[in-house]
Amino acid sequence: MLATTNFVVRGCVGDPPGGPLQADYLGDDDLLPALLASGTTAAFVAVGDNRVRQRLTGQLHALGFGTPAAVSGRAIVSPTARIEAGTFVMHGATVGPYSVVGAGAIINTNASIDHDCTVGAFAHLGPGSTLAGTVEIGQGAFLGVGTSVIPETIVGAWCTVGAGSTVIGNVPEGTTVVGVPARPIRRKS
């Protein structure tokens, strides 16, 4: 996805890749200080788990890296929307007027955020998920693929919304909800 932005990708660091990468694998995280010293000042955390992404972002900042936002050239972002640092806005995603997407969030492929929404830091809106107008998604919340949220609804911090669910009322912090309409479940895993 970074290939459709203005960034030049130097490579990936971290655990050895289990499969093909779209960029060169440079080595493990111990390489980061040398990369910074050689002039690579921006880094992106390509990790889906919201708590892990938050932790790794903090580590990058402590080392001195910046974590700019990366917005696909094939996303549509209103000129009045605000995308904060470290956020990915993937191909086909839409961010509507006066919406704010907090730091380190993922707005995945074809996700749609309508007007006046707030998406908290390190939240993840799964592929094809849809927020109607004036929705608030709390910090670290995860919306599974194809989730819908009706207008003026609050999904609390660190909630999980199951794939294909429709949220029609406020969801308290840390709750997992699934289904149409979305109802709380006790998770087995």
- Using CB under 6 A as the criterion, which residues of the chain lie in contact with ligand COA when the complex forms? 108, 126-127, 144-145, 160, 162-165, 176, 178-179, 185, 187-189
Residue 40 CB, shortest distance to ligand COA, in Å, is 27
The answer to whether the beta carbons of residues 118 and 99 sit under 8 Å apart is yes
Residue 106 CB, shortest distance to ligand COA, in Å, is 8
Tokens of 50: 């919201």
| Rounded Cα gap, residues 38 and 101, in angstroms | 31
**Residue closest to ligand COA (Cβ):** 162
**Closer residue to ligand COA (CB): 86 or 126:** 126
**Closer residue to ligand COA (CB): 56 or 106:** 106
Residue 115 designated active-site: yes
Residue 149 CB, shortest distance to ligand COA, in Å, is 14
Residue 186 CB, shortest distance to ligand COA, in Å, is 8
The answer to whether the beta carbons of residues 81 and 98 sit under 8 Å apart is yes
Q: How are beta strands 176-178 and 183-184 bridged, if at all?
A: antiparallel
**Closer residue to ligand COA (CB): 57 or 160:** 160
The answer to whether the beta carbons of residues 125 and 119 sit under 8 Å apart is yes
Marked catalytic residue, from 61, 91, 115, 124: 115
Alpha helices in 46-178 (DSSP H): 50-63
The answer to whether the beta carbons of residues 87 and 101 sit under 8 Å apart is yes
| Catalytic annotation, residues | 115
